Amino acid sequence: MNRDQKMEVIRQVKHRDELPAAMKKIESNKRMCELGVWFGSNLKMMIVSGSPEEIVGVDTFEDDGEVKGVKRYINLREELKAFEGVKVQLVKDDSNWAWVMFPKYHFDYIYIDSDHRYDAACVDIKKWYERLKSGGVLAGHDYKDAPQCGVKRAVDEFVKLHGYEDFFHVTSEPHAKRISPSWVILKF
């Protein structure tokens, strides 16, 4: 499948829940990674809908005031044991530093939903992009203008700097209390 055909599939994605299946369709699903796992619902959906051979989840698993981070980590680790045949790795680290654990061009698909501050989003996009294969997909959540959220600015700057305007898509998820659009870049 050439990059125009891949983009046609990507442009049909309306919600982030559809991304893993789209990655499978365009064959960018063998090695997947999510930054900012939280309770693991998106990570598990990536496994079920994307059918990867390997998946990595990166999160600091820090306490959030409501749930202890260590409890989230232990519970998710146990839940992920149910996915036989998939190499699953949970990395308890900051995504701005965890990228060094993986070689360049390792992943087919990376989904970023970690630190939303502008500087942190810039680092995640730049460093994890280097870990993505050519023809792979870099995507993320919370493509919006909001206080304390610099994701949209970081993504827009990256797209313009690297000439990805024709290989960029934003989902049409409604911007509501807990829902906001995802962004998607096809690397060439």
Question: Could you read off the pLDDT of 64-114 as tens digits, one per residue?
Answer: 777 788 899 999 999 999 999 999 999 999 999 999 999 999 999 999 999
> How many Cα atoms within 13 Å fall on the side-chain side of residue 179?
10
Residue 142 CA to residue 32 CA, distance in Å, equals: 19
Task: Give pLDDT tens digits for 32-43.
Answer: 999 999 999 999
Give the 3-state secondary structure of residue 121: helix
Residue type for position 160:
K
Reported as a pLDDT band with limits 50, 70 and 90, residue 175 is low
Say if residue 54 is exposed, middle or buried (CB neighbours under 10 Å; 0-12, 13-18, 19+). Answer: middle
Residue 98 CA to residue 139 CA, distance in Å, equals: 17
Reported as a pLDDT band with limits 50, 70 and 90, residue 2 is very high
> What CATH number corresponds to the domain at position 119?
3.40.50.150
Q: Which structural domain, as residue segments, surrounds residue 129?
A: 3-186
User: Which pLDDT score, from 0 to 100, does residue 25 have?
Assistant: 97
- Count: domains in the chain: 1
Nearest to 17 by CA among 42, 53, 47: 42
Task: Give pLDDT tens digits for 111-159.
Answer: 999 999 999 999 999 999 999 999 999 999 999 988 889 999 999 999 9
Strand 107-112 relative to strand 31-35: parallel, antiparallel, unpaired?
A: parallel
Task: Name 107's bridge partners.
Answer: 132
Please give the average per-residue pLDDT across 14-38, as a whole number: 96
pLDDT at 166 over 90: yes
Where are any strands of DSSP class E within 15-106?
A: 31-35, 54-59, 87-92
pLDDT at 177 over 60: no
User: Which pLDDT score, from 0 to 100, does residue 174 have?
Assistant: 66
| Eight-state DSSP code of residue 40 | S
User: Which pLDDT score, from 0 to 100, does residue 178 have?
Assistant: 63
Mean pLDDT of the chain: 94
